[in-house]
A and B are shown apart, each in its own frame.
Chain A
Amino acid sequence: MKMYSIILLIFLSFNVRSEEAPIKKSDNKWALRGGLTLAYATLNAEAATADHIPSYGINTQFSYLFKKVEINLNAYILLGHASGLQYHIDNINLFAEGDFRSFFFTPMIKYITDLELKKNWRLYLTLGAGWGIRSMKVLNFIDQGKEKNNHRINVSSRGLIGGLGFQEISPIHSMGPLFVEILGAYFEAYQLTLVENLNFNQVSKRAREDKHFHAFDGLLMINFGLTFL
């Protein structure tokens, strides 16, 4: 009986293997893309101050495809260094200089044409609206007779973004089809916020004002990356 049990035990023992669910037709509809971004922009501020700066960062794209039209939720993070920018908020003149960081959120529509640059690389046109925030250090300033430091100016902006690109057409996204695109953007600032960095993870809002000026006169971006999902 013991022998039976042992044999039965061995016979029935099994291990669970890696198993992927079969690919469905809808697999190619959703896409998650990501990659790198190179940008060049004329960064505008108040008092007719501006700086022409290159910047770099990352892009992410979350999309759904309807035949040839794709709905995209995109985001771009850009880093760079700028100087000579002037802002005025709460009766304080501020001079921004140093590293800046930007975040843009852009819902976009993409139309994928049948035109192929090379085999399986299709041309697409894309257009959308964008909202963004740019954060930059400001130099020490005097406020109510006291010198203040460790502040940042945050510029909220909105605008239009569009361009064209090429993307690799692949039967399944796990093959990591590539894309490259060139986008141009026009953004107008609508709000300034002065914040104080309390420490590495906390900020305190010092002042906020609604303003209207060109945030970017022509932001040119080159995005490239691949499809992860």
Chain B
Amino acid sequence: MTKIIILYCCFLFYSVIAHGLEETEYRYTYIERQHSKQEVATHLGSIYLTSWALYPLIMPHAFKEQGSWSNYRNNFAKIVFDQDQPFWNWLVHPLAGSQLFLFYRANGYRKENSLAMAFISSALFELTVEIYSEPASIQDLYQTPVLGSLIGLGIENLSLYLLNNSNNIFAHILGHAINPSTLFWFYDGKIIVTPQINPQDKNKSAALFLTGEF
């Protein structure tokens, strides 16, 4: 009798949930959470190592022609106004900053914390990586995280709009293309967690299915 009541209650509950699920639209969003010091260090460290790996690939000319450990020593702790083209100062660096901001957002950091993390990552790159070929620049130190975060906020809103409000496949592709962090495992803004028990297994093994949609 007890089993029947439980089953009935479950069925009722399922009916309500199922009805709700029919109308539920899974949406791309950002889930903000607290981070441990270890997580913060891991995220900063991974971006730092990535920047060391990408720098010679993105700027091969500067790396080969102007880069040396002697320059590294000379440029250490030196901050100047660079003479670079707008292509770098007003396009590449702010866009890189926006993707840094979105990377940290995808990892669950609040907006202001994402800005702070982008600031730290950018400063680490400018002050300890890029000095291999040129001194750190005031424009880059400021524009990368600050202008980058402003652009990142705009990209975040636009990509969520494209991903949530359009059934057009190209809009979805564009939404991911401008905000590629939504494609990686660390982005938990759209996910369904499904617990399951294997009825065939004598040990009643259980599993959690993490389903992401792209």
Contact with A along B73-103 (1 / 0, CB 8 A): 0000000010111111110000000000000
Contact indicator A18/B194 (Cβ below 8 Å): no
Contact indicator A11/B30 (Cβ below 8 Å): no
Partner of B150, one of A9, A18, A60, A201: A60
**B contact residues around A203 at 8 Å (CB):** 83-85
Do A75 and B112 contact each other (CB < 8 Å), given the known contacts A5-B199, A10-B14? no
- Closest residue of chain A to B86 (Cβ to Cβ) is A101
Tell me whether A20 is interfacial, beta carbon within 8 Å. Answer: yes
Do A32 and B26 contact each other (CB < 8 Å), given the known contacts A1-B199, A9-B196? no
**B contact residues around A73 at 8 Å (CB):** 142, 146
CB-CB nearest 3 A-B residue pairs: A18-B29, A201-B87, A5-B199
Contact indicator A228/B192 (Cβ below 8 Å): no
Number of A-B contacts (CB under 8 A): 114
CA distance A11 to B194 in the complex (A): 10
Do A16 and B188 contact each other (CB < 8 Å), given the known contacts A9-B197, A32-B149, A205-B83? yes
Contact indicator A21/B192 (Cβ below 8 Å): no
Partner of B111, one of A8, A11, A201, A229: A229
Tell me whether A202 is interfacial, beta carbon within 8 Å. Answer: yes
Residues of B near any A CB (own CB < 8 A): 7, 10-11, 13-14, 17-18, 24, 26-27, 29-34, 61, 81, 83-90, 110-112, 115, 138-139, 142-143, 146-147, 149-150, 153, 188-189, 191-197, 199
Partner of A60, one of B13, B24, B84, B146: B146
Chain A: residues with Cβ within 8 Å of the partner, total of 47
Contact indicator A229/B84 (Cβ below 8 Å): no
Stretch of A159-167, A178-186, A192-200 contacting B (4+ beta carbons < 8 Å): A192-200
**A contact residues around B61 at 8 Å (CB):** 202
CB of A87 to closest CB in B, whole Å: 15
Contact with B along A3-17 (1 / 0, CB 8 A): 101011111111111
For the A-B complex with A10-B18, A193-B83 known, give 17 more contacts whose Cβ atoms are closer than 8 Å: A7-B11, A8-B197, A11-B10, A11-B14, A13-B192, A15-B24, A16-B188, A16-B192, A34-B147, A62-B146, A75-B142, A75-B146, A103-B81, A132-B81, A135-B83, A195-B83, A229-B111
Partner of A16, one of B7, B31, B34, B89: B31
Do A21 and B34 contact each other (CB < 8 Å), given the known contacts A11-B10, A60-B147? yes
Do A13 and B194 contact each other (CB < 8 Å), given the known contacts A62-B146, A228-B150? yes
- Closest residue of chain A to B62 (Cβ to Cβ) is A202
**A contact residues around B32 at 8 Å (CB):** 19-21
